[in-house]
Amino acid sequence: MKIYFLFGLLGFLVIACNEKPKDNSKEKTHVVFEPTFKGLDAFLNYQEKIEQRKDLKTLQSLLFTHKSGYILQSKVFLGTHGEILKATLERSDTNGIKVTSTFYFLKEVLSMVQVDKENLRLSNLELHQTRVFYDASQRPIATYYRKVNNPKNNSVFQQKQLNAKQHAAIQKDLNSISDMQNQEGAFALNCQGFDEAFNKKFVQFGNNNFSTNLAYAPNDNILLSFQKNPNIYAHQAFTLQFQEVNDASGLQYQVLTALEKK
């Protein structure tokens, strides 16, 4: 199924900025926003309602590596009628910086974004959190920010201005999630080559900027054809189906289960 998001900001209405802590339903943290805006509780209650649901269908994208070294993966969470309720984009770079953006949708229209940024190489927690809230016309109505050094503290989210760079990053991440899920645009896939590792055969798909590697069965007729006639398929785009596998040794990898020409 195609994944698309409604996110057309009608004029860059800048008001406030925030971020939310990593959601943990088992740990209740008293979160304070200063100053509050009318309707804030409705946003937070809706977010909590989505987080507590156990019936959401999860669509996970391939794991992509950028040519500069950072990795990307997205997930989309669907309701019982196939409606998009939540989406996440996780980015980790070679310096240990991990950024997780979580988007919440009401009637498939963006309602709230939370961004968690942390340095995995630090021995102590240092989490930068931002939350941006949107009205029904997709205009940002409030943005808040806080820095967390203790996951159980009650630090306050302070209202902040949403700048053009943050606004553009949100739009870019939403577009990336859509393209990753649909394997198109910046994440269109061409067959790029073959390799072996951990006693397994891998095939690489990707483009000039992003790539993804998948284990495959050695007797796969289509891939054998690729190997024999690489020039024929060099510019052919494909849609891949896959599974993530964790084997007994602890190795985690993607397995190609099917592919078709676009």
The 10s digit of each residue's pLDDT in 42-66 is 999 999 999 999 999 999 999 999 9
Q: Please name the residues in contact with 191: beta carbons below 8 A apart, sequence gap of 6 or more.
A: 203, 204, 205, 226, 230, 233, 234, 236, 238
Q: Average pLDDT in the 81-101 region?
A: 96
Measured distance CA(72)–CA(90) in Å, rounded: 6
Measured distance CA(126)–CA(150) in Å, rounded: 8
Q: Average pLDDT in the 232-249 region?
A: 88
Residue 239 buriedness (CB in 10 A; 0-12 / 13-18 / 19+): middle
Q: Please name the residues in contact with 200: beta carbons below 8 A apart, sequence gap of 6 or more.
A: 215, 253
Measured distance CA(110)–CA(167) in Å, rounded: 13
- Model confidence band, residue 21 (pLDDT cutoffs 50, 70, 90): very low
Q: What is the pLDDT of residue 15?
A: 30
State the residue for tokens 């590697």. Answer: 213
Q: Which region among 8-12, 82-86, 115-119, 133-137 has the lowest average model confidence (pLDDT)?
A: 8-12
- Kindly give the pairing relationship between strand 64-66 and strand 57-60: unpaired
pLDDT at 151 over 70: no
193 token code pair: 């080559």
Q: What are phi and psi of 150, to 5 degrees?
A: -140, 120
Structural contact between residues 109 and 136, judged by C-beta atoms closer than 8 angstroms: yes
Sign of the alpha-carbon dihedral angle for 248, 121, 180, 192: negative
Q: Average pLDDT in the 181-199 region?
A: 93
The rounded Cα 135 to chain-centroid distance in angstroms is 22
Q: What are phi and psi of 189, to 5 degrees?
A: -120, 125
117 token code pair: 């940024």
Q: Please name the residues in contact with 38: beta carbons below 8 A apart, sequence gap of 6 or more.
A: none
Q: Please name the residues in contact with 243: beta carbons below 8 A apart, sequence gap of 6 or more.
A: 254, 255, 257
Q: What is the pLDDT of residue 23?
A: 47
pLDDT at 77 over 70: yes
Q: What is the pLDDT of residue 28?
A: 52
State the residue for tokens 């050094």. Answer: 149
Give this prediction's pTM.
0.86
Q: What is the pLDDT of residue 22?
A: 47
Q: What is the pLDDT of residue 19?
A: 39
What is the pLDDT of the chain when averaged over all its residues? 87
Check whether the bond before 230 is cis (ω within 30° of 0).
Answer: no
Q: What is the pLDDT of residue 226?
A: 84
